[in-house]
Chain A
Amino acid sequence: MSGYIFRQRCRPRGDFRINEILRFLHIVHAAFKCPAVYDGKGKPVELTVQALERIVKREVHKIFPSIGATFDLFTIPPKKWDKNTVRIEIHTGTQPGEVFVDAYDIDLSERRKVPAFEYLKTSIGIFKPFEAFLAEDANETRLDAYNRQQLIPKFDKPAIIRGFHYLDEFMIRSIGGINYCLKASVWRVERFCEGVLIQLIPGLFDSKNPEHLRIQQEAMKYFRLM
């Protein structure tokens, strides 16, 4: 079974972005229609600045605090895990100069759980990441996206182009610039937020569909990522 994960990567800013996380969690709340979000111990998280600050401070890395905090939140208490559970993985508060990036991911283990793209776009508008995409597990494995990313340790350019892929201006420069990008022959390329949003196909990308694979291959060739 192929799952999806929505990843948003932000350059380290040195603060915990509590207000942004709070707005992001409200989006999660609306997108998945969950009554609350829960922490790793199954306790409901109060959606207030103070409550989030408490969690973030508790989760700051014990050995290297400058790395920031990593924690998971769930739409259903993790002990009562069922097929509708969605995991939100947050890594925030990385200090500038560290080798890591801030990340705000939504792990959607099944296709049916992927919400409308409007929610993802709103989320991108909140965090203004340098890269955000909806990755399909099978496609990531097929193209060996993890190892490709290892060759770009400073996240200077995208490893591959996914079905729904946002890149900020800096990243766009690495694959030919905004004007070059806007001319790509994919379903939709548009200026969005602080960069460009590339959508290879109208709906969800499916690695079992040969047409989707062909479009992806052509796009990656166009952006010189093959």
Chain B
Amino acid sequence: MLETEKQRRWWFATHPEFSSKGTGHRSRAQKSDHDKSEKISPEAVDAYVDEQLEHERDPVIIQLLKSTKFWFGTEFASKSPEERHALLWEDEEDTRDEKTEEEVSVDLVFQLPRPRKAVDKIPMDVADAYRQWTDTRDEGKGVESDPHTYLDLFPYRRLATAPIQTFRNLLRNMARGTVVSAAKRAASEGPGKWKEVARSPLRLQHQSKMSNQPIRDHNGKLWIREYDLNGVKFDDYKNGKLYEYKGPMGNLINRKTGEFYPSCNVAKGHKIEAEAQVRAAKGIPVIWRVGENQVEAFKKALGNMTRISIVP
């Protein structure tokens, strides 16, 4: 029971997942260089776990240590990106068959550096171990409830949760604010403002590369700066022109007809987006940079529009 303010603060600091801000007691430390000294290498994890395993006899704690070693030690780090992806996301709905190779590779790039997923795997492993342990212990007792369960667990409570929380905080802080793509920020100003917006990872790397804006991983989302003019976002503003960078869309174009597949409503979406941009630009030239083999498809989709240039 949390009765005092001090207790409440301690609880939220050690359980950031229940905090509305999503920050733990590490959030303050994040601003300093303190975290740099706390980054752990896979070799250090291996050494720590091996040392602890020599002294530990409890099956749950052993499983916790083994699980930590597996996910953050050298074994996992030495695997190929595809294997790591498979292990981390095996319990997720697999939609890779529906995606193109290009989309899958983009997914891999953005999902792999997230240690949070691995952190979340550890409690599952520990819970399995605890279940096995209680099953073994309760064998022959039937369904009779054990009145001593709480007392049995209590001594291990701090022991079991503290390392998880420590790892979780450390790794979350490592992931928070990570600049996935380190690009220089453009300094072009103009009638609008640069704003940071959360975007889906698909084609974001292309946008970052073209606009020279860094992608930032924060709170599980990828953020990029875009140019906001009259409530409409553009990918870039430079030399007095507004730019929109369209990533690879070859798979959305019918090669026979050279136009967007009508069933996926892409052409309509582009048209609505283009209308909003031209309207918001109020005379400032709008340029869409698209793939070389997609110029004609875009021109056909925006056929009745003026004041927007489509260039490869």
User: Which residues from 131 to 185 on chain A have a C-beta closer than 8 Å to any C-beta of chain B?
Assistant: 135, 137, 140-141, 146-147, 149-150, 152-155
Name the residue of chain A whose CB is nearest to the CB of B279: A64
Interface residues of A in 1-59 (CB under 8 A from B): 1, 3, 5, 7, 9, 40
User: For B305, what are the chain A residues with a Cβ–Cβ distance below 8 Å?
Assistant: 100
Select B261's contact among A67, A70, A81, A149, beta carbons within 8 Å. Answer: A81
Give B276 Cβ to nearest chain A Cβ, in Å: 5
Asked if B188 is at the interface (CB within 8 A of a chain A CB), the reply is no
Q: In the complex where A64-B276, A87-B262 touch, is A150 in contact with B306 (Cβ < 8 A)?
A: yes
CA distance A67 to B230 in the complex (A): 15
Chain A residues lying within 8 Å of B263, measured Cβ to Cβ, are 78-79, 81
Cβ of A151 to closest chain B Cβ, rounded Å: 9
With A40-B265, A137-B296, A146-B299 known as contacts, the answer to whether A67 contacts B258 (CB < 8 A) is no
Q: What is the number of contacts between chain A and chain B, taking CB atoms within 8 Å?
A: 93
Chain A residues, Cβ within 8 Å of B256: 1
Identify which of B262, B304, B307 gathers the most chain A CB atoms within 10 Å of its CB. B304
Q: Determine if B253 is an interface residue (Cβ-Cβ < 8 Å).
A: no
Contact A61 B276, beta carbon cutoff 8 Å: yes
- Total number of B residues with any Cβ neighbor in A under 8 Å: 31
Give the interface SS of chain B, mostly helix, strand, loop or mixed. mixed
Assuming A3-B259, A61-B272, is B303 touching A98 (CB within 8 A)?
no
User: A78: which B residues are within 8 A, CB to CB?
Assistant: 262-263, 265
Instruction: Say yes or no: A1-B257 contact (C-beta < 8 A), given A70-B271, A70-B272.
Output: yes
State the CA gap A87–B258 with chains docked (Å).
15
Q: How far is the CA of A101 from the CA of B304 in the complex (A)?
A: 8
Q: Which chain A residue lies CB-closest to B255? A: A1
Count, chain A residues at interface, CB 8 A: 41
Partner of B306, one of A74, A89, A135, A152: A152
Q: Is B240 an interface residue (CB 8 A)?
A: no
Contacts of B299 in A (CB 8 A): 140-141, 146
Q: Is A91 an interface residue (CB 8 A)?
A: yes
CA of A66 to CA of B299 in the docked complex: distance in angstroms?
23
B231 at the interface (CB under 8 A from A): yes
A108 to chain B, nearest CB (A): 10
Task: Tell me whether A71 and B268 are in contact (CB under 8 A).
Answer: yes
Tell which of A7, A72, A140 touches B268, judged by Cβ atoms closer than 8 Å.
A72
Q: Does B106 contact A (CB under 8 A)?
A: no
From B257, B262, B279, B307, give the contact of A150 (CB < 8 A). B307
- Asked if A153 and B306 make an inter-chain contact with CB atoms under 8 angstroms apart, the answer reads yes
The answer, yes or no, to whether B232 is at the interface (CB within 8 Å) is yes
Given the interface pairs A1-B257, A101-B304, A153-B306, the reply to whether A63 lies near B276 with Cβ below 8 Å is yes
Which A residues from 87 to 143 make CB contacts under 8 A with B?
Answer: 87, 89, 91, 98-101, 103, 105, 107, 109, 135, 137, 140-141
Given known contacts A71-B268, A149-B306, what 9 new A-B pairs fall within 8 Å (CB)?
A3-B258, A9-B304, A61-B272, A61-B276, A74-B262, A109-B259, A140-B299, A146-B310, A154-B306
9 A-B residue contacts at CB 8 Å?
A: A3-B259, A64-B276, A70-B272, A72-B262, A81-B262, A100-B275, A100-B304, A137-B257, A147-B309
Which A residues are within 8 Å of any B CB, using their own CB?
A: 1, 3, 5, 7, 9, 40, 61, 63-64, 67, 70-72, 74, 78-79, 81, 85, 87, 89, 91, 98-101, 103, 105, 107, 109, 135, 137, 140-141, 146-147, 149-150, 152-155
